[in-house]
Amino acid sequence: MERVDSLLREMKDLLGPLEEKILRHPYLADLEGKKIGREKLRYFVKEQHHIITSDLRSVGLLLSRHGLPPGREFFWIVLQGEVEALNALGRFASALEVSGEEMEGYEPLPEAQAYKAYMAWLSLYGSGAEVAGAFLANFPAWGANCGRMSKTLKEGYGFTGGDLSFFELFSTPVADFEEKARLVIDDGICHGVEPKAIKEASRMLQGYELMFWDALQRISSV
């Protein structure tokens, strides 16, 4: 696993500036300062609804493409997480009085949906190692921001436990997730996947993550 360790260190150095921009995003500061009205939180729900419903199909395809170990175990964990996330998002939507029809009828922002579009591309053309590497790079920042949002929405906006299960789901580390992702990366490299491709997938997904927060801030400040 030494080559995986080395690759992940390189990715951390490469993506450090991007991660800092995500973790220090002004949307979160505006939320903590209560500059974003409760009604504007509906944009978060609607954009995430379109992302997760697409990601469910993407991860399902990844599971079918990588149905042997170690990919099977890893993508099964991810798929279960996506199903749980969609259900949890529904609880936050209910707290905001956003109906299923409203979410389905919403016209999402292209820049907010770039993440899901790239995920769909990876599910068709990417290796399991590229996806696992991209998730390892992306999920910690996303999870940290979800944890921060959960705290802010509880303390500053009056939401309670069940309402915030979406954020708490992502801010809680999944057992064995990193270990199983590393196995997928190692297996991919053994079968000819270039580390450069894994780093590129990670950089691209993290960049699209930043675009999501940029878009959310822009529409929430209108």
Q: How far apart (Å, rounded) are the C-alpha atoms in residues 197 and 209?
A: 18
**Which structure tokens are listed for 165?**
């299960």
Domains of the chain: 2-220 (1.20.910.10)
**DSSP per residue over 85-97, as a string?**
HHHHHHHHHHHTT
Q: What is the value of pTM for the model shown?
A: 0.96
**Average pLDDT of the chain?**
96
* pLDDT tens figures, 89-133: 999 999 999 999 999 999 999 999 999 999 999 999 999 999 999
Peptide bond into 70 cis (omega under 30): yes
Ramachandran region, residue 176 (left: φ > 0; alpha: ψ -120 to 50; beta: rest): left
Q: What is the pLDDT of residue 222?
A: 64
Closest alpha carbon to 55 in 194, 212, 220: 212
